[in-house]
Amino acid sequence: MIKDLQEQIIKLKQEKDFYILAHSYQAKEIVEVADFTGDSFQLSLAAQKVPNKNILLCGVHFMAETVKMLSPEKNVYLANPIAGCPMAEQLEPEMIEYLKKQNPDYTVVAYINTTANLKSVSDVCVTSSSAVKIVNNIENNNILFIPDCNLGDYISKQLPHKNIKLVQGGCPVHAAVTEQDIINAKAAHPNAKALVHPECTPAVLKHADYIGSTSGIVEYAMKSDCREFIIGTEMSIAEHLQYACPEKDFYILSKKILCPNMKLTTLVDVFKTLNGTGGLEIQMSDETIAKARVCVDEMIRLGK
């Protein structure tokens, strides 16, 4: 059944001139039909090079919006219309405008997990894999970082010369992991290296053997001579790594790191978007694209 559907999807992709981008947190059967799979930064780079007329994003809404900003001439679709990232909508642009007035000499750095309207009032975007490098490359040492306080705290510890102000917010999925969870996981697997995403709390990060973005965690696990790993990010990564490296063992850090929004997209959603009976076409005005794109372009420039 899955194989049949995958074959129909691959055929439809060619007939309808679609390119499929999938975030690494997507299920295995979706990754298998995608033309490119990666973390948020890799998806942004890949989006600029798509040769096809139509792009289908399997992930959450802000990712499809970012693709549309980078390729406004293409038709961009989100496979599951209600897949959103709760963190992306935690702040309102008016609040950031107010904070900018209070802190006029600060550069506003937005995590890419934000709506286009929030990006429009920010100066630069970052992803978890590019954040430290980009913030370091910003000339101004005064940084207002939105919305993920855990990632912001991690960046400020890496760059003590920067004066980083945080605004309350964060990923509810990664933030749900407790210090006791990582202590328990390490006690259960004493030979395993704990690889943890910086969206987790500082209390969890202090027990990590490696801290990095999704792509950083995947690369570390693939290259390491170690045989056992505790994966401290969305649990799909432990599954993908287990298939990629059957000779190694991967354990999830906690059953709580399951993103319900990332899990919404099914192979049927992909099929229905391609045959024109499902999905959501991303509509953005030229004005919104022009305003929001500035900080995404800055991210790509400073992240190189």
Q: Which residues bind ligand 13P (CB under 6 A)?
A: 39-40, 85, 113, 127-129, 171, 199, 213-214
Report the candidate in 260, 169, 148 with the shortest Cα–Cα distance to residue 213: 148
**According to the binding rule CB under 6 A, does residue 217 interact with ligand SF4?**
no
Distance CA(277)–CA(217), nearest Å, equals: 36
Residues near ligand SF4 (CB under 6 A), total: 13
Pick the stretch among 98-106, 156-164, 165-173, 186-194 that binds ligand SF4 (CB under 6 A).
Answer: 165-173
Nearest distance from C-beta of residue 208 to ligand SF4, angstroms:
17
Distance CA(77)–CA(64), nearest Å, equals: 7
Among ligand SF4, ligand 13P, none, residue 269 binds (CB under 5-8 Å by kind) = none
Strands 280-281 and 75-78: antiparallel
Nearest distance from C-beta of residue 151 to ligand SF4, angstroms:
10
**According to the binding rule CB under 6 A, does residue 123 interact with ligand SF4?**
no
**According to the binding rule CB under 6 A, does residue 85 interact with ligand SF4?**
yes
Strands 249-252 and 228-232: parallel
Rank residues 150 and 214 by Cβ distance to ligand 13P and give the closer one.
214
Count of CB atoms within 10 A of residue 89's CB?
17
Peptide bond into 172 cis (omega under 30): no
Nearest distance from C-beta of residue 58 to ligand SF4, angstroms:
12
Distance CA(293)–CA(125), nearest Å, equals: 10
Rank residues 173 and 295 by Cβ distance to ligand SF4 and give the closer one.
173
Tokens of 190: 């004493």
One-letter identity of residue 209: D
Nearest distance from C-beta of residue 23 to ligand SF4, angstroms:
8
Nearest distance from C-beta of residue 273 to ligand 13P, angstroms:
20
Instruction: Give the bridge partners for 210, in sequence order.
Output: 195
**According to the binding rule CB under 6 A, does residue 69 interact with ligand SF4?**
no
Q: Which of 113, 114, 265, 288 binds ligand SF4 (CB under 6 A)?
A: 113
Burial class for 142, CB neighbours closer than 10 Å (0-12, 13-18, 19+): middle
Interface residues with ligand SF4 (CB under 6 A)? 60, 85-87, 113, 171-174, 234, 259, 261-262
